């Protein structure tokens, strides 16, 4: 019974931490604005992605697979904003390389 309670408590804690990180990420994006033609908005969104990745890496300092997932999530977000720009894809793959998390 105690094992079950500890499992549930740990699960709830992890979900709340991830939820808090997600809220920080979304709040950051909202502050950036929505004009995707403005370079400042794009740079702001890149900063939000980078900060979210760093929070995720800090939270998972001992779990290699989760650290790689943090980087892959950042890469996917970065690539999602690359609208047909080949340099952008190269940028995302260079700065969000899961192999760096060894």
- What confidence score (pLDDT) does residue 100 get? 80
> Which pair of tokens denotes residue 2?
């105690």
Q: Is 3 a residue whose pLDDT tops 60?
A: no
Contact 44, 50 (CB under 8 A): no
If you average pLDDT over residues 20-33, what whole number do you get? 87
The dihedral region occupied by 45, where left means phi > 0, alpha psi between -120 and 50, and beta the remainder, is alpha
């Amino acid at each position: 019974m105690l094992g079950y309670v500890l499992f549930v408590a740990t699960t709830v804690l992890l979900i709340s931490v991830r939820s808090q990180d997600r809220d920080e990420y979304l709040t950051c994006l909202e502050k950036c604005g929505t004009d995707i033609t403005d370079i400042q908005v794009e740079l702001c969104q890149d900063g939000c992605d980078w900060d979210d990745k760093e929070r995720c890496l800090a939270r998972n300092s001992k779990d290699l697979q989760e650290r790689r997932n943090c980087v892959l999530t950042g890469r996917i977000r970065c690539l999602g904003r690359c609208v047909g720009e080949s340099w952008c894809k190269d940028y995302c793959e260079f700065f969000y390389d899961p192999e760096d998390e060894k």
